[in-house]
Structure 1
Amino acid sequence: MSDPFKQLHTAMNQFAAERDWDQFHSPKNLAMALTVEAAELQECFQWLTEEQSRALDDEQLAAVRDEIADVQLYLIRLAGKVGVDIEQACRDKMQKNAAKYPADEVRGSSRKYTWYQK
């Protein structure tokens, strides 16, 4: 885990300990809370056109920024609870995705990977 993730993980542990919230932070509960925060992020874009979603005003961007932070903080907390190194997990997943979605076969397509598999 890189230093910024370690620092945030430590800060999240301290934050929860100071509030006696560790008792509520089971992996199940953290995963559920994460989906709520992801939905709040999605809500920031609800009813916007594609173009509007690419040109957020300052207020909209501030709301998106806060929700992205909430999602990331819950991910860090959950990863710590189950012993996952987020940085390594992302590297591993990118390798799997590269094998699953070969650039020369899927370039420019948004179709699910199963359409081109032999």
Structure 2
Amino acid sequence: MTLRYQVLTGALAVLLSTAALAQSAAPATATAGDTVAPTKAQLRAEMRADRAANHALAKQVRDALYKNKDLNDTDIAVFANKRTGKIILAGTILDESQDQIAQDAASKVAGVQSVQTKLTLYAAP
């Protein structure tokens, strides 16, 4: 009985070890819940799309500023982040009231969440 017991125990050990090896050697397949890292091409395409969206939002804000007659003779650059809706206005204005006018005009554009100004008052030499 001891020889028989040893043979059965050995056979069981071999079977269990091969089953464990078969499971660990199997390739991992992605399921629907798994996240897959994007490729470089996908990241570049996403960055290009973000940049294009930022430029489009900045253009909409610039158009709104240029249509406002109270902002004639100003030099305002617009920086936009489409994902956050944050707008930064930078440049020169002729009087302090134009700062608030520019903020109001920019905040009325669709997609704008916040407006930050870095406008400086033009000082004539």
Which has the larger share of strand?
2
The higher radius of gyration belongs to: 2
Q: Which has the higher contact order (CA 8 A, sep 6+)?
A: 1
Would you say same fold, with TM above 0.5?
Answer: no
TM-score normalised per structure 2: 0.27
TM-score normalised per structure 1: 0.28
